Structure 1
Amino acid sequence: MVVAMLAASSSVAQEVCLEPVRPDAGYLADAGYGAGEIRLAYRGYFSDVEDYLNCLNRSSARIRREATAAAQDYNRVLDQYPVDPGQGSEPELVPRIEMTDSGTLFLDYQAEWLK
């Protein structure tokens, strides 16, 4: 079953966000580029920055959805397979998971908003 889960998760194509390279006007001028070409390089850079930031936002949203789903799954695991006192495989107080809008992941697996 674990192999099937890993295969399913790796088969999902994930977007790769490539950070744009900032143009260097001095270098471009020394390389023989004209003023119009240098301006064009900067406009292309700003367009690439916008694409990059949008890509990061999409990736962040996808990861947030996946983490929320995993937290809900873990809630069900804790309900289905409770830890026996003294078992030692989990701490006495099972951590809970909760995510804030800041992207910080807080361990609060039974947060009200997950139910």
Structure 2
Amino acid sequence: MERLTLVIAILVASEGSAQEACIEPVRPDAGYLVDAGHEAVEIRSDYRGYFSDVEDYLNCLNHASARIRRAATAAAQDYNRVLDQYPVEPGQGRELEQAPRIEMTDRGALFLDHQAGWLK
């Protein structure tokens, strides 16, 4: 029974890793394919497959970007709540000044903003 549980855990973990791994497709090289003896129909098929793989790759990157953006925004909100709950007092600890607030923009840039009112 333990062995079955271990196998299931490995399968689930590998599926999760595969979903997050966006593998860039390799562009076909027409000259190489011709030299290797591929027929025209095979070369056209390789290019069509490549374009399909590019679309899948770009969709994967978009999904990964959206996922990490949600995670980073949640972390920024958590961090700002920590700053509100545990403010730095002058002379307290190693921080010499007030810790900056974190603000995420829609462009994916991470800005340190002392106001960040939209996160409250």
Q: Confirm or deny a common fold (TM above 0.5).
A: yes
Q: Is the 8 A contact 2:76 2:104 kept in 1?
A: no
Identity across the alignment (%): 78
1:113–1:26 Cα change, 3 Å: same
1:91–1:108 Cα change, 3 Å: farther
Question: What is the DSSP-based 3-state SS (H/G/I as helix, E as strand, rest coil) of the residue aligned with 2:92?
Answer: coil
RMSD, aligned CA: 1.7
Shift of residue 75 of structure 1? 1.0
Total equivalences in the alignment: 104
Q: Does 1:53 align with 2:58?
A: yes
Q: Which of the two has higher C-alpha Rg?
A: 2
Shift of residue 93 of structure 1? 3.1
TM-score of the superposed pair, with normalisation by structure 2: 0.78
TM-score of the superposed pair, with normalisation by structure 1: 0.81
| Counterpart position of 1:44 | 49
List, as ranges, runs of 4+ consecutive aligned residues in structure 1 with deviation greater than 4 Å: none
1:100–1:19 Cα change, 3 Å: same
- Give unmatched runs, 5+ long, in structure 2: 1-12
1:60-99 equivalences under 5 Å are: 60-99=65-104
- Give unmatched runs, 5+ long, in structure 1: 1-10
